[in-house]
Amino acid sequence: MDVSEAVDSRLSVREFLKNPVEDSLIAELLEKASRSASGGNLQPWKVYVINNETMQSFLKFQSEWSEPETPAYAIYPEKLSEPYRTSRFEVGEQMYSILGIERDDKEGRFKQMLKNYEFFGAPAAFFCYVDRQMGSPQWSDLGMFLQTFMLLAREAGLDTCAQEAWSLKQESVTAFVEAPEEEMLFCGMAIGYRDTKASINKLRTNRRPVETWAHFLKK
């Protein structure tokens, strides 16, 4: 698989097979992904892997946690302007339409959203944390690291879904992983093998045309 194939075949998988993923494979991918660039070579990512029996105990712990939680951060700006608002709206509509969930089926949509908190059935996952002293430049480094991991996962025949949804459950996640006070949760990463029969995994999301966001300056 070349890089273009890895990029093109990566998608956010939202239904995984139960096939396990070895810790050793995840460790190998993390090590390779650590070659990602980061400003000043800070390598600001912190990763907590959840796999095997730890996945079972985590899911049990999660389902029993009853404290209301303060979100780690605001996922989106309060008032998204165009064209971002439409892009966000479109992906939601595409997803629910593939699943046959109607626009006014609030319960159906909510149930689908809750699948985030089971990692969409993925057998393995990690949580990505960052030191609270870091700012937006280092958060962009996290993105590079995560994308590199997702592409390497494709090369290994694996699939992923990055999940900011976990930021809404940062207190319970942090209590479980025992991250120190100075670290904050950015996102989860579901890891496993895609269920190719699941309709949700057939979602090919739109992209805005290059000429709407790239400008080849001629002066």
Ligand X SMILES: Cc1cc2nc3c(=O)[nH]c(=O)nc-3n(C[C@H](O)[C@H](O)[C@H](O)COP(=O)(O)O)c2cc1C
What's the min distance (Å) between Cβ of 150 and ligand X?
A: 8
- Residue at token pair 């002066």: 219
Query: Which residue's CB is nearer to ligand X, number 25 or number 98?
Result: 98
**10-18, 19-27, 60-68, 173-181 -> range binding ligand X (CB under 6 A):** 10-18
Residue 21 vs 187, nearer CB to ligand X = 187
Site string for ligand X, 73-112 (x = CB under 6 A): ------------------x---------------------
- Binding residue for ligand X, selected from 152, 158, 187, 200, defined by CB under 6 A: 187
- Token pair, residue 45, equals 């990512």
Q: Which of 5, 6, 3 is nearest to 154 (CA)?
A: 6
Which ranges of 10-83 does DSSP label H, i.e. alpha helix?
Answer: 23-33, 52-64
Task: Give dist(CA 73, CA 153) in Å, integer.
Answer: 27
Q: Are 211 and 37 in contact (CB under 8 A)?
A: no
Q: Judged by CB under 6 A, which stretch of 30-38, 63-71, 158-166, 211-219 contacts ligand X? A: 158-166
161 counts as binding ligand X under rule CB under 6 A: yes
Q: Closest approach of Cβ 94 to ligand X, in Å?
A: 9
Q: b/e per residue, 156-167, with b = 16+ CB within 10 A? A: bebbbbbbbbbb
State the CB neighbour count (10 A cutoff) for residue 73.
12
CA 42 to chain centre: 22
CB of 216 to ligand X, least distance (A): 25
Among 131, 164, 171, 183, which residue interacts with ligand X (rule: CB under 6 A)? 164
Q: Which is nearer to ligand X, 100 or 216 (CB)?
A: 100
Q: Which among 11-19, 20-28, 34-42, 53-61 is the span making contact with ligand X, rule CB under 6 A?
A: 11-19
Phi, psi of 91 (to 5 degrees): -65, -35
The CA distance from 34 to 28, in Å, is 10
Question: Which residues of this protein are in contact with ligand X, per CB under 6 A?
Answer: 11-12, 14, 91, 116, 161-165, 187, 205
